[in-house]
């Protein structure tokens, strides 16, 4: 099986200034000082000139994903991914990267001890990676609509190894199936991806009710953002 490669223009994955500042711990209602404002604009300019967003999608059967998810057998026994994927109508492996150039810019800034630029560009790229992930999820929904397999009663939600009780070692079996090396992503011995601004996982599609779960699992206590709450809330809207 060969995955479908999707490339996106830089303008489609440009984060907003407010989202970048929030990622840096500056609330929306706080007006940043002139230096911070300048840093954001410089980081966005660097990002726009170097980012090369690309993703890959591969639909798999439930049995295939169950094997991928099991991986080395290190997952949390309570992971909601297992239950949700078992009730899914469609399971699609994905991986994306912003490319090596923007990651090199971040590394170079830190290497020359320009911590302010490096930190701001890192925040911009992290937000951009999330926007790219959303574009991939949107593209998957469009594919399902095209074959009359998606409507207002259905939704999609993405999960990645390292979150929701899916152990990081799951990257290995996911990579073996998806082969994201075709878009320039590699995996090291610690299951970390290169380029660093890359995301992988599964997009689960199915009836909206299968995605309802409370963030009361043991691993939820270690989650700093609980972003799943906003995504699930959005998904459950009519």
Q: Indicate the number of domains in the chain.
A: 1
Name which of 7-11, 35-39, 137-141, 214-218 the model is least confident about. Answer: 214-218
| Sequence-distant (≥ 6) Cβ neighbours of residue 199 within 8 angstroms | 94, 95, 96, 129, 130, 132, 133, 160, 193
Distance between CA 194 and CA 235 in Å, rounded? 30
Residue 78, pLDDT score = 87
If you average pLDDT over every residue of the chain, what do you get? 93
Separation between Cα atoms, residue 42 and residue 116, nearest integer Å:
11
Backbone angles phi, psi at 214, to 5 degrees: -85, 145
Check whether 176 has a pLDDT greater than 90. yes
Q: What is the CATH number of the domain that holds 185?
A: 3.40.109.40
The three-class DSSP label of residue 203 is strand
Helices 62-70 and 170-178, axial angle in degrees (round to 10) = 140
Query: What CA–CA distance (Å, rounded) separates 193 from 37?
Result: 31
Give 43-84 pLDDT, tens digit per residue: 999 999 999 999 999 999 999 999 999 988 899 988 999 999
Q: Residue 169: how many CB atoms within 10 A of its CB?
A: 17
Strand partners, 6: 55
The token pair at 236 is 């459950």
pLDDT for res 57? 98
What residues make up the domain containing 57?
A: 4-236
Mean pLDDT of 19-35: 87
User: What long-range pairs does 20-27 form, CB within 8 A, spacing at least 24?
Assistant: 20/44, 20/120, 20/123, 20/124, 20/127, 23/123, 23/126, 23/127, 24/119, 24/120, 24/123
Strand partners, 194: 186
């Amino acid at each position: 099986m060969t995955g479908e490669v999707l490339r996106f223009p830089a303008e489609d994955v440009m984060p907003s200034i407010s989202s970048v500042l929030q990622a840096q711990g500056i609330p929306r209602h706080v007006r940043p000082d002139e230096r911070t404002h300048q840093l954001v604009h410089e980081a966005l300019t660097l990002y726009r000139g170097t980012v090369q967003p690309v993703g890959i999608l591969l639909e798999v059967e439930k049995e295939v994903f169950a094997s991928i998810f099991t991986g080395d057998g290190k997952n949390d026994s309570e992971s909601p991914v297992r239950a949700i994927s078992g009730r899914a109508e469609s399971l699609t492996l994905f991986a994306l990267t912003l490319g090596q150039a923007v990651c090199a810019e971040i590394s170079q800034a830190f290497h020359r001890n320009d911590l302010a630029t490096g930190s701001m560009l890192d925040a911009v790229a992290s937000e951009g990676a999330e926007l790219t992930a959303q574009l991939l999820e949107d593209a998957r929904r469009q594919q399902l609509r095209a074959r009359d397999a998606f409507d207002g009663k259905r939704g999609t939600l993405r999960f990645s190894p390292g979150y929701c009780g899916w152990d990081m070692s799951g990257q290995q079996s996911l990579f073996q199936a998806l082969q994201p090396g075709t878009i320039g992503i590699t995996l090291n011995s610690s299951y970390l991806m290169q380029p660093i601004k890359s995301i992988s996982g599964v997009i689960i599609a199915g009836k909206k009710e299968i995605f309802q779960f409370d963030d009361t699992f043991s691993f939820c206590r270690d989650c700093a953002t609980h972003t799943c709450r906003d995504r699930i809330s959005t998904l459950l809207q009519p």
